[in-house]
Amino acid sequence: MTRRVVLLAHEGFPDRAKTAVGVLRYADVEVVAVLDREIAEVDDDARVSDYLDDVQDAPIVGRAADAPEFDALVVGIAPIGGGLDQSWRPDLQFALESGADLISGLHYFLSEDERLATLAAEHDADIWDVRQPPSDLTVADGVARDLDCEIVLSVGTDCSTGKMTVTRELYEAAVDRGLDAAFIPTGQTGIVIENWGIPIDRTISDFTAGAVERMLVERQDHDYLFVEGQGSITHPAYSTVTCGILHGAMPDQLVMCHVAGREAIHGYESFEIPNPATVANLYEQVAEPVAPTEIVAGSLNTRGLDEDDAQEALDTYEAQLRVPVADPVREGPDAILEAILE
Amino acid sequence: MTRRVVLLAHEGFPDRAKTAVGVLRYADVEVVAVLDREIAEVDDDARVSDYLDDVQDAPIVGRAADAPEFDALVVGIAPIGGGLDQSWRPDLQFALESGADLISGLHYFLSEDERLATLAAEHDADIWDVRQPPSDLTVADGVARDLDCEIVLSVGTDCSTGKMTVTRELYEAAVDRGLDAAFIPTGQTGIVIENWGIPIDRTISDFTAGAVERMLVERQDHDYLFVEGQGSITHPAYSTVTCGILHGAMPDQLVMCHVAGREAIHGYESFEIPNPATVANLYEQVAEPVAPTEIVAGSLNTRGLDEDDAQEALDTYEAQLRVPVADPVREGPDAILEAILE
């Protein structure tokens, strides 16, 4: 039986609700409602389809108590810092009191929150903190480059540039073509979708590359491994994670992700994003001493642009990167996949 | 009263005993013995001075029970992976049974070892796991570049290239000149010496840059901050940490560290070290989008070379980097400090 899921995305849907959108688009669950009190307050008939195409539809409501019956509540937004917004407590508590599970990718572990843990125990509900990494991680052996798989990693000019999306689209398109592929999730959204994976941004920095390597070694029986990237090598706070994934995964190919028109790091607006070609080159140079690789394609998020503007943005991006590019949501991932399979 | 310390360095002294050597050279303690059973077995009169100049002298003995009375045992070696070598247990237990404290930079926390924790409680001894980071770390705000201090970071071609040493020497030389300087420790040795600091390689990768930033903000009342670097941007396992420090510290100046003659990553011998000039350039390029910086001097470890060979190695290094270089142990840090103050 498909699980019935509520996605918490208060004041963030859809633009700042990566996990919610990822679940709507890719996970094998039935989303019965999205919680966004800001949207629900002004439109009590709001639906996901008012905001997004090509994902499953669901009503948008203001609180968990207004949602149809559900089996799990997924925290579908990832605020900077990963703390718990205290105003979410009524929804979390309602879920547990209804016997529904909580699934959270917050840095703050809900299972260690005394009030929530007590409620979960009382109502026989589970709390799954997706960002809790295995306790037995260790340093990388430096072996990913020796695996007999084609390893493809998504990298970007910033956070939230579509790395999870393009990686997921490429994986699904590869499987549709009959290729033997696996998706390697490194963040909360991918892990929620796949029901497997290590939250790389939560690993001890000495073990970050080793954690990525471990996932690849576990899935080395596949021909293609599509690794979900994180952050950006040019990000003032999150480059640590990006560098660990790049050197831990030792990818054969990179897909470079960018958002059309974005000129500064999201949330760190005083940090300019260089020309995407400069960033692309930097990834290749950082990879070079450990495991040489190359940017083979570009993924551009053109959401919000009309057809003409999107095409212009894609043309510009292709001219910058000098490799095939596409918007994997607007156009599908085929052009990117072709470049990878060449 | 100066603390009397025993340094555990079995089968590692002095070459693979960074922490032991750092304590001998810089810490304000009295080292009463170094433990290295391999050395003690073949020479029961062995002393530190047989191996190292310019550090405090002490006998080298085979086990803690053979050492003069002491107040603390410091685990002075940092094995790859940071586990506990079970053969060290008799020494650790003897120390605790004598009422001496344990100070350890291992990833494996001695304070969480049931047997050792019980012994410590029984004998009123403390266990300080230097690698346990604060529990309230968070993401970087990206503010280090705005601090009104000159921030100097040591970077390297590999682990164990003398980053702690040159940083420490520069700090001490700066203070000797009457400058208002602070040393920012990021690893176990520096933290043991300073009795303060955050073990950066043990922080959650999302918070690594933030942890560095926090230390700089805390010490921003000084004119010069000398930040101890870690790992290498070209290291297959530890580049994660290096990148986090580089972007978290946003240094004004870099000092590039290398070991004369080293051609492959220590412990990862199939990974070649590029020309130091290539690595130096890579640091500048990775820093550029976040906070531009430049290599202003080079630090070369020439230990084991005779005077002529050392000079030749220094000349080569200077020709590669095109900045002033020195071996801060053999020659002192003055040439490097001059380049920084210019």
ipTM of the complex: 0.86
Q: Chain A to chain B, count of Cβ pairs less than 8 Å apart?
A: 156
* Residues contacting residue A229 through CB under 8 Å, at least 6 positions apart: A153, A154, A155, A156, A163, A167, A186, A242, A245, A257
DSSP state of A84: P
Total residue length of chain A: 342
Region A77-87: mean pLDDT is 83
User: With an 8 Å Cβ cutoff, are B247 and A268 in contact?
Assistant: no
**Half-sphere exposure of residue B175, counting CA atoms within 13 Å on the CB side?**
11
**Res. A53 pLDDT band, cuts 50 70 90:** confident
Give tens-digit pLDDT for A144-159: 999 999 999 999 999 9
Position B54 pLDDT exceeds 90: no
User: With an 8 Å Cβ cutoff, are A205 and B208 in contact?
Assistant: yes
Position A14 pLDDT exceeds 80: yes
Taking the CA atoms of residue B12, residue B14, residue B15 and residue B19 in that order, the dihedral angle to the nearest 10 degrees is 80
* Residues contacting residue A5 through CB under 8 Å, at least 6 positions apart: A23, A27, A29, A30, A31, A32, A70, A71, A72, A73, A74
Write out the H or E segment, with its range, that includes residue A154: strand A150-156
Q: Which residues of A touch B284 (CB under 8 A)?
A: none
Instruction: Give the minimum alpha-carbon distance from B22 to chain A in angstroms, rounded to a whole number.
Output: 21
Instruction: Give the minimum alpha-carbon distance from B182 to chain A in angstroms, rounded to a whole number.
Output: 23
Asked if A253 contacts A294 with a C-beta cutoff of 8 angstroms, the reply is yes
Asked if B223 contacts B179 with a C-beta cutoff of 8 angstroms, the reply is yes
Instruction: Give the minimum alpha-carbon distance from A176 to chain B in angstroms, rounded to a whole number.
Output: 34
Please state whether the peptide bond connecting residue B236 to the residue before it is cis, i.e. omega within 30 degrees of 0. no
Q: How far apart are CA A201 and CA A187, in angstroms?
A: 7
User: With an 8 Å Cβ cutoff, are A239 and B209 in contact?
Assistant: yes
Region B217-228: mean pLDDT is 98
Position A194 pLDDT exceeds 90: no
User: With an 8 Å Cβ cutoff, are A239 and B244 in contact?
Assistant: yes
Give the per-residue pLDDT at B75.
Answer: 94
Structure tokens at A177: 């073509």
Q: How far apart are CA B212 and CA A17, in angstroms?
A: 29
Scored b (16 or more CB within 10 A) or e, A280-318 reads: bebbebbbebbbebebbbbbbbbeebeeeebeebbeebb
Q: Which residues of A touch B251 (CB under 8 A)?
A: none
Interface test with A, best of B109, B145, B240 (most A CBs within 10 A): B240
* Residues contacting residue A97 through CB under 8 Å, at least 6 positions apart: A119, A123
Find, among A141, A114, A153, the residue nearest to A256 by Cα.
A153
Give the per-residue pLDDT at A83.
Answer: 83
Q: Which of A139, A203, A279 sits opposite B205 (nearest CB)?
A: A203
Find, among A297, A306, A57, A323, the residue nearest to A162 by Cα.
A297
Give the per-residue pLDDT at A142.
Answer: 98
Q: For the packed helices B307-321 and B276-287, what is the interaxial angle rounded to 10 degrees?
A: 40
Residue A153: φ, ψ to 5°: -120, 135
Give the per-residue pLDDT at A245.
Answer: 98
Position A1 pLDDT exceeds 60: no
Burial class (CB in 10 A: 0-12, 13-18, 19+), B196: middle
Highest mean pLDDT, choosing among A101-110, B80-89, B166-175: B166-175
Instruction: Give the minimum alpha-carbon distance from B142 to chain A in angstroms, rounded to a whole number.
Output: 6
Q: Which residues of B touch A285 (CB under 8 A)?
A: 282, 285
**Half-sphere exposure of residue A278, counting CA atoms within 13 Å on the CB side?**
10
Nearest residue in B to A143, CA atom: B236
**Among the listed ranges A22-26, B35-39, B306-310, which one has the minimum average pLDDT value?**
A22-26
Q: Which of B201, B206, B273 sits opposite A202 (nearest CB)?
A: B206
User: Which one has a higher pLDDT value, B27 or A2?
Assistant: B27
B4-129 — its CATH code?
3.40.50.720
| Residue appearing with tokens 């105003």 | A87
Q: Which of B210, B273, B278 sits opposite A237 (nearest CB)?
A: B210
Alpha helices in chain A (DSSP H): 18-26, 37-42, 89-97, 114-122, 163-176, 188-194, 208-218, 239-249, 276-287, 307-321, 334-341
Give the per-residue pLDDT at A247.
Answer: 98
Region A35-46: mean pLDDT is 96
Q: Which residues of B touch A270 (CB under 8 A)?
A: 142
Q: Which of A81, A142, A208 sits opposite B240 (nearest CB)?
A: A208
Find, among B23, B35, B16, the residue nearest to B77 by Cα.
B16
Region B223-244: mean pLDDT is 98
Find, among B110, B141, B144, B132, the residue nearest to B203 by Cα.
B132
Q: Which residues of B touch A109 (CB under 8 A)?
A: none
Asked if B306 contacts B261 with a C-beta cutoff of 8 angstroms, the reply is no
Q: How far apart are CA B235 and CA A89, in angstroms?
A: 43
Instruction: Give the minimum alpha-carbon distance from B17 to chain A in angstroms, rounded to a whole number.
Output: 19
Taking the CA atoms of residue B188, residue B189, residue B192 and residue B196 in that order, the dihedral angle to the nearest 10 degrees is -70
Give the per-residue pLDDT at B163.
Answer: 96
Give the per-residue pLDDT at B1.
Answer: 53
Q: Which residues of A touch B248 (CB under 8 A)?
A: 240
Give the per-residue pLDDT at B105.
Answer: 85
Instruction: Give the minimum alpha-carbon distance from A65 to chain B in angstroms, rounded to a whole number.
Output: 32
**pTM (two decimals):** 0.87
Position A2 pLDDT exceeds 80: no
Asked if A331 contacts A298 with a C-beta cutoff of 8 angstroms, the reply is no
Give tens-digit pLDDT for A164-188: 999 999 999 999 999 999 999 999 8
In this chain, the answer to whether the domains covering A4-129 and A144-341 adopt an identical fold is yes
Give the per-residue pLDDT at A88.
Answer: 96
User: With an 8 Å Cβ cutoff, are A285 and B289 in contact?
Assistant: no
Nearest residue in B to A271, CA atom: B290
Instruction: Give the minimum alpha-carbon distance from A50 to chain B in angstroms, rounded to a whole number.
Output: 34
Please provide the DSSP assignment of B205-256 as one string: GGGHHHHHHHHHHHTTTSSEEEEPP-S-TT-TTTHHHHHHHHHHH--SEEEE
Q: Which residues of A touch B234 (CB under 8 A)?
A: 289-290
Q: How far apart are CA A292 and CA B205, in angstroms?
A: 24
Q: Which residues of B touch A140 (CB under 8 A)?
A: 236-237
Asked if B330 contacts B324 with a C-beta cutoff of 8 angstroms, the reply is no
**Res. B78 pLDDT band, cuts 50 70 90:** confident
Position B79 pLDDT exceeds 80: no
The neighbour count for residue B126, using CB atoms within 10 Å, is 12
User: Domain boundaries in chain A?
Assistant: 4-129, 144-341
Position B208 pLDDT exceeds 70: yes
* Residues contacting residue B212 through CB under 8 Å, at least 6 positions apart: B140, B144, B184, B186, B198, B200, B227, B244, B245, B248, B249
Q: How far apart are CA A295 and CA A254, in angstroms?
A: 5
Instruction: Specify the fold of B144-341.
Output: Rossmann fold (3.40.50)
Instruction: Give the minimum alpha-carbon distance from A155 to chain B in angstroms, rounded to a whole number.
Output: 15
* Residues contacting residue A125 through CB under 8 Å, at least 6 positions apart: A95, A96, A99, A100, A101, A102, A119
Give the per-residue pLDDT at B257.
Answer: 98
How high does pLDDT run on average in chain A? 95
Q: Which residues of B touch A244 (CB under 8 A)?
A: 205, 239-240, 243
Nearest residue in A to B138, CA atom: A81
User: With an 8 Å Cβ cutoff, are B268 and A202 in contact?
Assistant: no
How high does pLDDT run on average in chain B? 95
| Max Cα distance, chain A (Å) | 59
Q: Which of B80, B142, B206 sits opposite A241 (nearest CB)?
A: B206
Q: Which residues of B touch A208 (CB under 8 A)?
A: 205, 240
Please provide the DSSP assignment of A18-43 as one string: HHHHHHHHH-SSEEEEEE-HHHHHH-
Q: In what order do the strands lie in the sheet with A325-326?
A: A181-184, A224-227, A150-156, A253-259, A294-301, A325-326
Instruction: Give the minimum alpha-carbon distance from B177 to chain A in angstroms, rounded to a whole number.
Output: 33
Give the bridge partners for A227, in sequence order: A153, A184
Structure tokens at B113: 């070892």
User: With an 8 Å Cβ cutoff, are A209 and B282 in contact?
Assistant: no
